């Protein structure tokens, strides 16, 4: 992040190392509780911590590949899109993630928009 304008667009959240492999961390934002996930390939994803089915806490689910399984009813949610894997339907809000020098950044604009 070299320019001030870039810093204005992104908010520093956590380091990748602070997120357990195949696990998550939760942050609180005006948008709601956001789960920051890390898979076995050190990819990082951010979703509203609410399953589109019954609102279960996705942060408590099992991460596998690029999906998380909701702990309530075993819906599989694609971590890249937030959408349920067929035959289930619905999407959790996903957030743009940027990784730079091992630091996770989220879009300031997206963090400000409240989601139901």
CA distances from 17 to 21, 60, 94 (A): 8, 19, 21
pLDDT of residue 15: 98
The CATH code that applies to domain 4-112 is 2.102.10.10
Residues pairing with 106 in the sheet:
11, 97
Name the strand (E) or helix (H) holding 15.
Answer: strand 10-15
pLDDT in tens, 53-73: 999 999 999 999 999 999 999
Establish how many alpha carbons lie within 13 A of residue 10's alpha carbon, considering only the half-sphere containing its beta carbon: 18
Per-residue pLDDT at 16: 98
Whole-prediction pTM: 0.90
């Amino acid at each position: 992040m070299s320019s001030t304008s870039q810093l204005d667009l992104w908010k520093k959240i956590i380091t990748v190392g602070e997120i357990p492999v195949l696990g998550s961390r939760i942050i609180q934002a005006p948008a709601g509780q956001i789960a920051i996930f890390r898979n076995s390939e050190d990819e990082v994803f951010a979703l509203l911590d609410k399953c589109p089915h019954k609102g279960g806490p996705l942060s408590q689910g099992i991460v596998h590949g690029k999906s998380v399984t909701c702990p309530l009813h075993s819906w599989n949610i694609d971590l890249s899109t937030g959408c349920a894997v067929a035959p289930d339907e619905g999407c959790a809000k996903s957030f743009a993630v940027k990784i730079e020098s091992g630091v996770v950044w989220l879009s300031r604009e997206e963090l400000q928009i409240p989601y139901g």
